[in-house]
Chain A
Amino acid sequence: MARLKFLCDSDRCIECNACVTACKNEHEVPWGINRRRVVTINDGKPGERSISMACMHCTDAPCAAVCPVACFYGTEDGLVLHDKDLCIGCGYCFYACPFGAPQYPRVGNFGGRGKMDKCTYCAGGPQQDSTPVEYIQYGSNRIAEGKLPLCAEMCSTKALLAGDGEIIASIYKERVQQRGYGSGAWGWRTAYREELPA
Chain B
Amino acid sequence: MTEQNDSRLNARRRFFGALGLAAMAAPAAAIEADGGTGGLPPQRESEAEKRKPRYRETDHVRAFYRTNRY
Interface residues of B (CB under 8 A from A): 27, 30-31, 33-38, 40-45, 50-58, 60-61, 64-65, 67-70
Contacts and interface: CB of A to CB of B under 8 A. Distances in A.
A21 B38 CA distance: 24
The majority secondary structure among interface residues of chain B is: loop
Nearest to A147: B60
A162 B40 CA distance: 32
Nearest to B54: A143
Nearest to B27: A108
A133 B40 contact: yes
7 contacts: A1-B53, A133-B43, A143-B55, A148-B60, A148-B64, A164-B57, A171-B65
A30 B33 contact: yes
A123 interface: yes
A137 B40 CA distance: 10
Contacts of B35: 84-85, 87, 105, 114-115, 117, 137
B50 A126 contact: yes
The majority secondary structure among interface residues of chain A is: loop
Contacts of A105: 30, 33-35
B34 A85 contact: no
B68 A161 contact: yes
Contacts of A133: 37-38, 40-43
Contact of A75 (B30, B54, B58, B69): B54
Nearest to A81: B50
Interface string A68-109: 000001111101010011010000000000000000011010
A146 interface: yes
Contacts of A75: 50-54
